[in-house]
């Protein structure tokens, strides 16, 4: 159910009446007049909460997928460099041909005791 701006305004008036009208009789009369609008405020809040939650989950999924792709590419590059080193290629040649910093190639070489 969508809530109109009018319903939202009436709900806000109900809350304002509850908080700022000190005379109990006047407060009760005003609250009775605005009565059913309180549930609309709750529904509005629940709707906004769900929308925010759904957007947060979607954003988290996208970020997780992107992070996974980057990690997968990094692991595959390390595997390729390791195989090239095992095949006898020099670290300097691998770095130059693969456009990878020599420091990274040497780090992979040391990590794998090659």
Q: Which two tokens stand for residue 17?
A: 């009446």
CB-based burial, 18-41: b 16+ in 10 Å, e otherwise: eeeeeeeeeeeebbeebeebeebb
Task: List the one residue out of 49, 51, 44, 45 whose CA is nearest residue 4.
Answer: 44
Q: Which region among 38-47, 77-86, 88-97 has the lowest average model confidence (pLDDT)? A: 38-47
Percent of all residues in the chain with a pLDDT value above 70, rounded to a whole number: 89
Q: What is the pLDDT of residue 25?
A: 86
pTM over cut 0.95: no
The mean per-residue pLDDT over the stretch 80-98 comes to 94
pLDDT of residue 63: 97
């Amino acid at each position: 159910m969508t809530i109109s701006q009018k319903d939202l305004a009436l709900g806000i008036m109900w809350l304002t009446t509850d908080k700022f009208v000190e005379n109990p009789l006047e407060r009760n009369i005003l609250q009775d007049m605005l009565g059913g609008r309180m549930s609309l405020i709750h529904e509005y809040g629940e709707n906004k909460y769900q929308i925010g939650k759904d957007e947060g989950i979607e954003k988290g999924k996208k970020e997780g997928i992107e992070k996974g792709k980057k990690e997968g590419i990094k692991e595959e590059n390390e595997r390729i460099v390791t195989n090239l080193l095992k095949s006898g290629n020099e670290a300097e040649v691998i770095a130059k041909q693969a456009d990878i910093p020599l420091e990274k190639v040497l780090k992979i070489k040391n990590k794998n005791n090659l």
